[in-house]
Chains A and B, each alone.
Chain A
Amino acid sequence: MSTTTTTEAGKARRSLRLSRNQILTGIALLVFVGFLIWAQNNLDPYKLRILNLCAVYTIFAVTFNLIFGYTGQLSLGHAGFAAVGAYTAALLTLSVAQKQANFFLAPIIPLLANVEWGFLPAVLVAGVLAAVTGLLIGWPALRLRGDYLAIATLGFGEIIRVMFVNWQRITNGSLGLKGIPGYTNLYWSWGFALITIFVVKKLVDSSYGRALKSIRDDEVAAQALGINLARHKLLAFTLSSFFVGIGGALLANLISTIDPNVFRIFLTYQIVGIAVMGGMGSLTGSTIAAILYTVFLEVLRPIESPFRLGSIQVPGVPGMRMVLFSVLLLAVILFYQKGLFGSKEFSWDWLFEQFSKVRTRLSGAQAAPPAGPQQE
């Protein structure tokens, strides 16, 4: 009798806690949306651009985490997929007049010359095309493991970039595309970032996510339990490419000028750095690291111009920010081997646990010795 009442009480408490967490999540989202509305209307374009970049890098880092952190496949093709998304969105949203102005060396192919789409369909098509590219590349490449997969995807990413340099009549080659309409605002960028986080989180917490983690942990055992390795790896790869494509589209309509050099391997390295800094297998980590990285890179901008350090005159060194960032990354890896968050996620329960820990410490300081450990 007593056991049934306690389990019922436990159930009630659990459902209560669930709803409390849902309310808190709802409030947090509302506050965040409020902040976005305020920021969009009050901040200057420079700050807005940083906040938008935060969202784009969040998308990149979260999707990289899906492939590497959860599925264990080291893929270094992110820059290539971002390029596919960026060019697709750019070509679909550029005005007819701008296209003519851009393609002065060789005319654009007739198919694209008179296209001028709205932003949402362009972004979605960008995602779909990047996903198709991901599917086509992943199908053969995912047979490889570890380092070999990394090299193959790195190569594919470069191939995409070189193709874009040479497709003069589609991509305008190394001249790039200019005057892309600046549709990206905080609502679009953070809207898609939140959708990415939501979908990836739902997926990794589902049975498919457990299958992906089982592949990461032990391919032989996973396959012996009936998990189709190729199909599941391809699922993670394609979904990740889709969102990277969307990220690329947001980037193109944010910076308004793109050329193949934007999507060098360096972009992939940045994404890997962010994801590692945040912690493999933690979406919270990826998000926070993406924001920290983008903001830090801006905050550190002054050190590239000449400045005085005490009595020493330091000359401006371009690229100094990256040196400092590398040092920061090294420090993080030294002190947090698994990144800032490891594989942990933020949760309200965790937050309340921290609160109660602080409270017991405070009350313990006032009235020692503390009463016995509280049950639950």
Chain B
Amino acid sequence: MSLLTLENVVKRFGGLVAVNNFSTQLQAGELCALIGPNGSGKTTIFNLISGIYEPTEGKITFDEQDVTGKRPDLIAGLGIARTFQNIRLFRGLDVLGNVLVGHHLRLKSDPFSAMLGLPGYSREEHTMREEGMELLDALNLAHLAHEDPTSLPYGQQRKLEIARALATKPRLLLLDEPAAGMIRAESQELMDFIQHILNTVDMTIFLIEHQMRVVKSICPRLIVIDHGEIIAEGEPAAIQNDPRVIEAYLGVGDYATG
């Protein structure tokens, strides 16, 4: 059974067609990468799934529910979390605080018990903090818990965004260029972590990546888009040899030798 289904999704901005007739399915537990050159519509697709944009046409289904055009917070509540390509951390909160915001949608206490500091709330706050620290620990960020997030190096800010998204306990995680700006060792460590999440938690991951090198080792399936349309889909090995992909994205001479 597929967890996420996109059927003939179209997104137009005025006369510009950003996404054209995009259809795909993601199975539960799958790791799939969306690749394509700059401006090919990758992030737009993520924005459509997470509800930031409403599709012009088409239908998006998550876990057999129609989520087309739903509000982002409702979609997040259903179990879709995401990170952003241009890092969007909350600069007024410390590192742990950022993760705890991700936990907020699972909070059961009402505002009154929070503002009066009732025991029921205090207990929840305590568990929340423990879970948050565990998450930070899993991403090797625990020692930075009380730092200002904007003071962190780029790679760690990206990891913090992932931790924050994971704090919502999603079933589908959308990662928008998680390895951008990372050095080779860092991105390898990140891919190991993604593999680790897939092995340990019941999770489906859809990720956008720019560099083929990063994803071809861990993603069994790639979707390549150009100008908002799918031009190839399948295993990395097959994709690499697809002439349309080589032409549109990888660059002819460059990749043939690499």
Contact = CB atoms under 8 A, between A and B. Distances in A.
A206 B72 CA distance: 23
Contact of A217 (B71, B72, B90, B100): B90
B97 A208 contact: no
B40 to A, nearest CB: 22
A225 B103 CA distance: 8
Given A208-B114, A220-B52, A226 B88 contact: no
- The contact size tier of chain B is 35 or more
Contacts of A222: 90, 101
Contacts of B97: 210, 213
Interface stretch (A28-36, A39-47, A227-235, A282-290): A227-235
A209 B115 CA distance: 9
B92 A213 contact: yes
Interface string A213-244: 11011101111111111000001000100000
B165 interface: yes
Nearest to B91: A217
Interface residues of A, number: 29
Contacts, number: 101
A206 B115 contact: yes
Interface in A333-371: 343
Given A210-B104, A221-B84, A224-B76, A281 B92 contact: yes
A206 B125 contact: yes
B181 interface: no
A312 B115 CA distance: 56
A211 interface: yes
A303 interface: no
B82 interface: yes
B114 A223 contact: no
B216 to A, nearest CB: 28
Interface string B40-81: 000000000010100000000000000000011100110001
Contacts of B125: 206-207
B73 A226 contact: yes
Contact of A225 (B91, B116, B164): B164
A73 to B, nearest CB: 14
Contacts of B15: none
Interface of B: 50, 52, 71-73, 76-77, 81-82, 84, 88-93, 97, 100-105, 107, 109, 111, 114-117, 121, 124-125, 128, 164-165, 168
Given A203-B114, A208-B104, A217-B91, 7 more contacts: A210-B97, A213-B93, A214-B90, A220-B52, A220-B72, A220-B88, A239-B115
